[in-house]
Amino acid sequence: MIQVLFFACHERIHQMLLDDLILIGSHRVTCSLFKDWDYLATLRPKTKATSTTIPSLRLDNVLKAMLNISRADCQQYILRGMVRVNQEEVTKRHFIINEKDIISVRGRGKYKVETIGNASKKEEYG
């Protein structure tokens, strides 16, 4: 799968990046000078909105709903340090999620909690 990454740099170092940047991690990269800023402004990340009801706002419950996997699997992602909330690693499954939090799971994607509804009589959120 070919992925494209755009980034900006200061004009004083752009030639060094073009000449010398060939690997990021173990991935081979090709650099080129990009001048079509109008095209860049049209790019948007792929998103999908979903709505669900969860028993609590704990990280493991939110991940279970987002990833559609078991809570035990979610807890393993968390305990192994594979989950970040707002770019900070979280290793506690009882971490409470808030509106506008951005949750990243290594190898699974990035998710944004847009809104949190009111709790039901059973203390479920939806």
Mean pLDDT of 19-38: 79
Q: Say yes or no to pLDDT of 49 above 90.
A: no
SS3 state of residue 24: strand
Q: Tokens 């409470």 sit at which residue?
A: 96
Residue 108 backbone phi and psi in degrees, to 5: -120, -20
Question: What DSSP letter does each residue of 72-87 carry, written as one string?
Answer: HHHHHHHHTT-EEETT
pLDDT of res. 119:
66
- Give CA separation, 21 vs 4, 16, 17, in Å: 15, 8, 5
Percent of the chain with pLDDT over 90: 36
110: enclosing H helix or E strand:
strand 109-112
Whole-number Å distance between alpha carbons of 63 and 68: 8
When the pLDDT of each residue in the chain is averaged and rounded to a whole number, the result is 83
pLDDT of res. 97:
93
pLDDT of res. 123:
62
Mean pLDDT of 73-98: 94
Q: Say yes or no to pLDDT of 32 above 70.
A: yes
Q: What are the tens digits of pLDDT across the range 76-87?
A: 999 999 999 999
54, 126 contact by CB (below 8 A): yes
CA atoms within 13 A on the CB side of 30: 4
Question: Does pTM surpass 0.95?
Answer: no
